[in-house]
């Protein structure tokens, strides 16, 4: 019983003390903000110093020393070296860019040949010590720039070779030499898409290729007079199977694809000068002839075909092409220039009718004088 009374008294004493402590805390006024001097004192207090492990204190080891800050002179030297390297690299890149823009590779090679050779100059054995030191200092100064120029020339040569492979035709002679017995034969170059065929894609059936009306008769008839070449800007994986299905009778002698074109201003152009044929004996027929050839004087422009069922462009062109092949003009380009601005097939028919009318008048005039 006495134990119970003692415990109750102890609990009441603790609760009273807690109430007094809470009342003191709540009644005390708020503390003012600390002054800068007190903040500095706090920062220098032992609580803010580096913590040392208890193991180090137990073992009697000294704490690791704090590394001293780097001197300002070392930082300035490093900054000077860093900005110097960045500046030299910037100047080198700018110089290389200007040289690539203003000069060709051969011109840069020729202009820097003497400077690069000077880096390899040697001093004679009987030269004075001053001359040897001077030559050594000069060689050391120009070795790095000379090596940089050699590296630039090698890199530019490699890049231009890669670009040349994409922009230039595959070869300067895209076609094999003509047989000596066929030197008089004219070359008829034909575009593929929208000239002989039309490729169309739809979601329900995918890609489909359609033959232009009259294409079979056109190829079969003109193969008797011309060397027929298909010249397309599509990839060979597209051109080869299409031509094989299109030309069942082997009327087309050669086929050229995108690798044989010249890439210029974002387009693939047909370069007829690379065909290994006389330019005076080349005709290029296309629905986009003037837009896709670098030799407009050899172009025969026709209407692009886009699945019109009543199209007769190829059949209408046969009389003109046959007439040219039979008469064999020395240069086809003046003949095509006389049709500039006209539909060649229609204009040829009109000229043929006019010629027949004049011949008929001459015959009648001759008969009149005979009487």
User: Which tens digits make up the pLDDT trace of 75-85?
Assistant: 667 777 777 77
**pLDDT of res. 153:** 80
Q: Residue 52: CB partners within 8 Å, gap ≥ 6?
A: 63
What is the mean pLDDT of the segment spanning 329-338?
95
Burial of 303 (0-12, 13-18, 19+ CB in 10 A): middle
Residue 156 has pLDDT above 60, yes or no: yes
Determine the Cα–Cα distance for residues 221 and 214; give it in Å rounded to an integer.
11
List the alpha helices (DSSP H) in 28-71: 36-43, 54-59
Top-confidence range, 21-30, 157-166, 274-283: 274-283
Q: Are 347 and 300 in contact (CB under 8 A)?
A: no
Interior/surface letters 102-123, b for 16+ CB within 10 angstroms, e for the rest: eeeeeebbeebeeebeebeeee
User: Which tens digits make up the pLDDT trace of 31-46?
Assistant: 555 554 444 444 444 4
Q: Residue 315: CB partners within 8 Å, gap ≥ 6?
A: 213, 214, 217, 218
**pLDDT of res. 245:** 93
Place of tokens 């025969």: 300
Tokens of 228: 């027929």
Determine the Cα–Cα distance for residues 288 and 291; give it in Å rounded to an integer.
5
**Domain boundaries in the chain?**
84-167, 180-340
Residue 27 has pLDDT above 70, yes or no: no
pTM of the predicted model over 0.85: no
Q: Are 247 and 344 in contact (CB under 8 A)?
A: no
**pLDDT of res. 332:** 95
Tokens of 106: 């051969």
Helix (H) / strand (E) element for 186: namely: strand 186-190
**pLDDT of res. 138:** 66
User: Which tens digits make up the pLDDT trace of 296-322?
Assistant: 999 999 999 999 999 999 999 999 999
**pLDDT of res. 129:** 67
User: Which tens digits make up the pLDDT trace of 197-244?
Assistant: 999 888 888 888 999 999 999 999 999 999 999 999 999 999 999 999
What is the mean pLDDT of the segment spanning 103-112?
80
Strand boundaries in 212-310, DSSP class E: 226-231, 254-256, 262-264, 267-269, 282-286, 299-301
% of the chain exceeding 90 in pLDDT: 42
pLDDT band at 71 (very low <50, low <70, confident <90, very high): low
Interior/surface letters 312-337, b for 16+ CB within 10 angstroms, e for the rest: ebbbbbeebbeebbeeeeeebbebbe
Fold of 180-340: Rossmann fold (3.40.50)
Taking residue 210's Cβ as centre, other Cβ atoms within 10 Å add up to 13
**pLDDT of res. 163:** 67
Strands 197-202 and 267-269: unpaired
What is the mean pLDDT of the segment spanning 172-192?
92
What is the mean pLDDT of the segment spanning 124-139?
66
C-alpha dist (Å) from residue 95 to 103, 146, 217, 346: 11, 14, 61, 59
Higher pLDDT, 221 or 65: 221
pLDDT band at 144 (very low <50, low <70, confident <90, very high): confident
**pLDDT of res. 81:** 75
């Amino acid at each position: 019983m006495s134990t119970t009374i003692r415990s109750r008294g102890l609990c009441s004493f603790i609760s009273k003390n807690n109430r007094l402590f809470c009342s003191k805390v709540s009644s005390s006024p708020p503390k003012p903000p600390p002054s800068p001097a007190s903040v500095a004192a706090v920062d220098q207090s032992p609580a803010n110093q580096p913590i040392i492990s208890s193991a180090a204190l137990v073992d009697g080891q000294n704490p690791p020393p704090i590394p001293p800050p780097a001197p300002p002179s070392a930082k300035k030297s490093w900054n000077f070296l860093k900005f110097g390297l960045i500046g030299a690299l910037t100047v080198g890149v700018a110089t290389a860019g200007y040289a690539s823009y203003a000069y060709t590779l051969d011109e840069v090679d020729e202009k820097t040949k003497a400077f690069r050779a000077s880096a390899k100059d040697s001093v004679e054995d009987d030269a004075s010590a001053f001359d040897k030191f001077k030559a050594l200092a000069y060689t050391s100064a120009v070795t790095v720039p000379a090596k940089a120029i050699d590296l630039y020339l090698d890199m530019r040569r490699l890049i231009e070779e890669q670009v040349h492979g994409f922009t230039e035709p595959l070869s300067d002679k895209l076609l094999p030499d003509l047989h000596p017995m066929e030197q008089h034969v004219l070359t008829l170059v034909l575009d593929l898409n929208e000239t002989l065929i039309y490729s169309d894609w739809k979601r329900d059936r995918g890609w489909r290729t359609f033959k232009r009306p009259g294409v079979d008769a056109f190829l079969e008839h003109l193969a008797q007079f011309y060397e027929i070449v298909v010249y397309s800007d599509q990839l060979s994986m597209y051109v080869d199977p299409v031509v094989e299905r299109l030309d069942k009778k082997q009327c087309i002698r050669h086929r050229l694809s995108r690798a044989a074109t010249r890439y210029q201003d974002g387009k693939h152009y047909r370069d007829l000068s690379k065909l290994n044929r006389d330019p005076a004996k080349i005709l290029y027929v296309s629905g986009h002839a003037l837009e896709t050839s670098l030799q407009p004087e050899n172009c025969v422009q026709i209407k692009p075909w886009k699945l019109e069922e009543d199209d007769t462009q190829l059949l209408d062109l046969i009389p003109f092409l046959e007439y040219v092949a039979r008469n064999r003009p020395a240069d086809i380009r003046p003949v095509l220039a006389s049709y500039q601005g006209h539909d060649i097939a229609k204009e040829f028919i009109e000229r043929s009718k006019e010629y027949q009318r004049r011949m008929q008048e001459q015959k009648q005039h001759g008969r009149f004088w005979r009487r």
